[in-house]
Structure 1
Amino acid sequence: MNVLIVHESMFGNTRQVASAIADGMREGTAHGGDVRVVHVDDAPTTIADDVDLLLVGGPTHGFSMTRPQTRHDAISKGATAAREGVREWIDEVTPRHGLPVVTFDTRVHVKMLPGSAASSAAKALRHRGFDGAERGETFWVKDVAGPVVEGELERARQWGVTLATRVSHGVA
């Protein structure tokens, strides 16, 4: 099983979650394969034919995926600048019919706060032509800059194990 995890991370929290998911996928994959974690700035715009599962994750900004203005605001708070975000990458990536795609996000843990980058990304990916795109998990951070809430990286790792099991049984 070959997995590509494309993520956007400005404060490092979503990168940590993506890495934990990758660790879980490697642990849950009995038949080998490759699990690659790639920042959106370095992500391919054509998904290789040998990729069996695509995961796409990013932070929730303003109830959705980041936008240039929300990224600029994050940079003013100490975030690392990125050339583009998941939103722009989705607009550029070539769709691959039948490829299972699962999204995830990170966001501040505030009760009753609507919106999710994972939901927005899944919808945008389906609209782009990735008919197998579905919303996955949200992982919580304590504040805009983090850190990731205690226990969330372990939950991300376990989710990766679960996803690997689903894929190996043909239920992505």
Structure 2
Amino acid sequence: MKALIIYDSLYGNTEKIAQAIGGALGAEAKVVKAGQVNAADIAAYHLIIIGSPTQGGRMTAALKRFLDNLPADVLKGKRFAAFDTRAKSFIVKIFGWAAPRIESAVKEKGGNTTAQPQGFFVKATKGPLVEGELERAAAWAKAIAAGVPTNLMPGEYELKKKE
């Protein structure tokens, strides 16, 4: 399956997750930073996975600009999934996370959700990633490719049990 993983990253954590997802999906997966891909590139892929760090409950301004500038129907009929990186913080829970907002923006462009938005945890605002998150990202990507329900993937509750 041809997959395109589009991301923005501020401290490198989201890029690491994007690379883990791309690696898990294999040779037909391409990982690119938002702004280095255009609508014509997207047309060649069946699965689009988009990720951003959570900043103030939202995706980064660069990723939002990228999504806003895509033509209205460029994602029509495309399978897609959204992810973010996030700190485990009470304050962040109040404002929300980037992945659900990415999902909403992509649905407006005609994309078909193929997986629930997923969050990957960092230890603090700048990271590093919580141990095991790269492996979880790879497993999430493989589940998406296999059509396995992604709501069965570990979430915040399971991560707390590991600590």
Question: So what's the TM-score if we normalise by structure 2?
Answer: 0.80
Matching residue of 2:58: 64
- Using the TM superposition, give the Cα deviation of residue 111 of structure 1 relative to its aligned residue in structure 2, in angstroms: 4.1
Equivalent position to 1:132, from 112, 115, 125: 112
Higher relative contact order (CA 8 A, sep 6+): 1
Higher helix content, 1 or 2 = 2
CA distance in 2, matches of 1:135, 1:89: 21
Matching residue of 2:155: none
- Using the TM superposition, give the Cα deviation of residue 98 of structure 1 relative to its aligned residue in structure 2, in angstroms: 0.8
Deviation digits for residues 3-62 of structure 1 (CA, Å, limit 9, x no counterpart):
000000011000000111112222xxxxxx610000113122334433010000000000
Query: Aligned residues: percent identity?
Result: 31
- Structure 1's consecutive aligned runs of 4 or more residues displaced over 6 angstroms after TM superposition are none
CA contact (8 A) 2:75 2:106 kept: no
* Structure 1: tracts of 5 or more residues without a match: 27-32, 68-84, 168-172
1:53-132 matched pairs, under 5 angstroms? 53-67=47-61, 85-94=62-71, 95-111=74-90, 113-114=93-94, 115-127=96-108, 129-132=109-112
Question: So what's the TM-score if we normalise by structure 1?
Answer: 0.76
- Using the TM superposition, give the Cα deviation of residue 164 of structure 1 relative to its aligned residue in structure 2, in angstroms: 1.6
Deviation digits for residues 83-117 of structure 1 (CA, Å, limit 9, x no counterpart):
xx110000111223111111100011124713111
CA distance in 2, matches of 1:125, 1:39: 16
Matching residue of 2:3: 3
Matching residue of 2:20: 20
CA contact (8 A) 1:7 1:15 kept: yes
CA contact (8 A) 2:2 2:29 kept: yes
CA distance in 1, matches of 2:129, 2:59: 18
1:31-50 matched pairs, under 5 angstroms? 34-50=28-44
CA distance in 2, matches of 1:101, 1:87: 16
CA contact (8 A) 2:2 2:46 kept: yes
CA distance in 2, matches of 1:164, 1:8: 22
